[in-house]
Amino acid sequence: MRKFQKSLVAVTLLSLLSFANSESMALTIEQPKVVVPNVSEEVIENAATANLPVQQLLLFVNVFEQLRANYVEEVTEETLVNNAIKGMLSGLDPHSEFYDSESYKKVQEFTTGSFAGLGVEVVSEDGLIRIISPMDGSPAKKAGIQAGDLIIKIDSTAVQSIDVAKAVDMLKGEPGTEVVLTIIRESERSPLTIPVVRDVIKTESIKGELIDNEFGYIRLSQFQERSAEEMKTAIDDLNKQAMAKKTTVKGLILDLRNNPGGVLDQAVEISDLFLESGLIVYTQGRDPASRIDFVANPGDILEGAPLVVLINGGSASASEIVAGAIQDQRRGIIAGEKSFGKGSVQSVVNLANGQGMKYTTALYYTPEGRSIQGEGISPNIELLSLNVDSERNSNFIREENLAKRLNKGSDKEQNITTFAQSEKARGLAISDNQLYEALNLLKSLIFVKDVLETQ
């Protein structure tokens, strides 16, 4: 009986996972013989002798047969198997999932830079959907969706009443159609209702700007297939702009706020741009021998110029790899707010009939061996996102404004380094306080560097 059970379980397991099998099969515990097309006797024998959890698999087969035969509505074996696989993966962690042929095609669109939807990176959380970050220029960003928002209702459907994968599918749709999201935001006392019009998302992963003729600013919104190449181009453009102003790029702010991540090798290559040598990141799976190290090559594109990296709670995955490498190698200052903490590696596997699966195989570790998963990257200097009225806060009375003031006693010129600040830079204090403070921090690093070089 034991041998029969193991053979039956082996056959059952193989048949359920064989997407090439197009024939329907009725599987019951009492059935004395099950014929599985396209499975060799050798494969069945190997599976039968493996250390399988027999009782649990028999329980699965029993539930499968009960639902197939007696569920209130007719349901196909394919639907039951697919649902079982979805549950198997989603029950492990928020990032493991099964894709049918249609959803798998959409997954592969992420790195191309053009796709339809709301433009948000999401993760499942207790049956709800958490926004990791909205993409720059996306419908979600324009509608006011923020990193950390928790979606509890899509149109009139409560998210917890449906499968998370189905809820995510409901966010997708034809360009121009509207979806109404009900969200919970930590700073609000009651849920918010936000309508969002779907559109084709054409992402520009990198934007560069020269502030006050000598301070570089690059915004990286996500890691796509050519992000490292685009980063080089953006820095070259900043250098050309500075040369035209008869100056140089004295330092750089790399803005990774609300960057949900993307392609791993691009995170490694971008980190490598700023590092001369040493470890960038390593991955470690269950097997100690599975460790993979990613090491920097000689050459710093900034030639040692000060670097400030801005992060916040919407910075995840690849963003955290870059921030962790820069921080551990003491190459720059990490400023802003603690990052999201998504430090796991997912492998994507092609299955039959255009289907696929994604599951977690390893964790990311910074050069000093810190796990990013669940911890995130803490900034060296915390910069909170604040609303600041610089006009109201800068109306000070100085000595020069006082009547009967004493005149200065000497006209000796003061040899002190100062940084001129344009109206646009001062305006950042109101429009983007974190960037404004990062700019001041960069100036401080440049000042200290200049002082040390002159000593």
Residues 102-111: what's their mean pLDDT? 68
**Host domain of residue 299:** 206-382
Q: Note whether residue 450 is domain-resident.
A: no
Among 24-28, 259-263, 369-373, whose mean pLDDT is lowest? 24-28
Say whether both 146 and 71 belong to one domain.
Answer: no
Predicted local confidence at residue 410, as pLDDT: 58
Residues 14-22: what's their mean pLDDT? 37
Among 86-95, 115-124, 253-262, whose mean pLDDT is lowest? 115-124
Residues 113-128: what's their mean pLDDT? 75
Mean pLDDT across the chain: 82
Q: CB-based burial of residue 222 (10 Å sphere; 0-12 exposed, 13-18 middle, 19+ buried)?
A: buried
How far apart, in whole angstroms, are the C-alpha atoms of residue 116 and residue 136? 14
Predicted local confidence at residue 143, as pLDDT: 94
Say whether both 243 and 373 belong to one domain.
Answer: yes
Question: φ, ψ for residue 152 (rounded to 5)?
Answer: -110, -20
Q: Note whether residue 103 is domain-resident.
A: no
Catalytic residue positions, numbered: 317, 328, 342
Say whether both 160 and 259 belong to one domain.
Answer: no
At residue 196, does pLDDT exceed 70? yes
Say whether both 161 and 229 belong to one domain.
Answer: no
Say whether both 243 and 335 belong to one domain.
Answer: yes
Say whether both 356 and 298 belong to one domain.
Answer: yes
Predicted local confidence at residue 318, as pLDDT: 94
Q: Note whether residue 440 is domain-resident.
A: no
More confident: 396 or 214:
214
Predicted local confidence at residue 154, as pLDDT: 94
Say whether both 167 and 210 belong to one domain.
Answer: no
Residues 167-172: what's their mean pLDDT? 83
Say whether both 159 and 224 belong to one domain.
Answer: no
Q: Which of 56, 75, 94 is the last residue of a domain?
A: 75
Q: Note whether residue 97 is domain-resident.
A: no
Q: Note whether residue 378 is domain-resident.
A: yes
Q: What is the count of structural domains for the chain?
A: 3
Predicted local confidence at residue 50, as pLDDT: 59
Q: Note whether residue 388 is domain-resident.
A: no
Q: Note whether residue 250 is domain-resident.
A: yes
Per the CB < 8 A criterion, the answer to whether 227 and 270 are in contact is: yes
Question: φ, ψ for residue 99 (rounded to 5)?
Answer: -120, 130
At residue 182, does pLDDT exceed 90? yes
How far apart, in whole angstroms, are the C-alpha atoms of residue 230 and residue 224? 10
Per the CB < 8 A criterion, the answer to whether 281 and 325 are in contact is: yes
Instruction: Write the CB contacts of 388 (distance below 8 Å, at least 6 apart in sequence).
Output: 429, 430, 433, 436
Say whether both 162 and 256 belong to one domain.
Answer: no
Q: Note whether residue 18 is domain-resident.
A: yes
Say whether both 173 and 290 belong to one domain.
Answer: no
At residue 30, does pLDDT exceed 60? no
Q: What is the CATH number of the domain that holds 153?
A: 2.30.42.10
Predicted local confidence at residue 172, as pLDDT: 82
Among 144-148, 259-263, 428-432, whose mean pLDDT is lowest? 428-432
At residue 33, does pLDDT exceed 60? no
Q: What is the CATH number of the domain that holds 264?
A: 3.90.226.10
Q: Which amino acid is at 223?
A: F
Q: CB-based burial of residue 117 (10 Å sphere; 0-12 exposed, 13-18 middle, 19+ buried)?
A: buried
For 327-363, what is each residue's pLDDT tens digit?
A: 999 999 999 999 999 999 888 888 988 899 999 999 9
Q: Which of 359, 382, 405 is the last residue of a domain?
A: 382
How far apart, in whole angstroms, are the C-alpha atoms of residue 387 and residue 433? 7
Instruction: Write the CB contacts of 114 (distance below 8 Å, at least 6 apart in sequence).
Output: 200, 201, 202, 203
Q: Which of 202, 229, 248 is the last residue of a domain?
A: 202
How far apart, in whole angstroms, are the C-alpha atoms of residue 17 and residue 98? 12
Q: Give 381-415 as a DSSP string.
A: EE-------HHHH-----GGGSTTPPPPS--PPP-
Say whether both 32 and 54 belong to one domain.
Answer: yes
For 291-321, what is each residue's pLDDT tens digit?
A: 999 999 999 999 999 999 999 999 999 999 9
Indicate whether this model's pTM tops 0.85: no
Say whether both 262 and 142 belong to one domain.
Answer: no
How far apart, in whole angstroms, are the C-alpha atoms of residue 48 and residue 7? 5
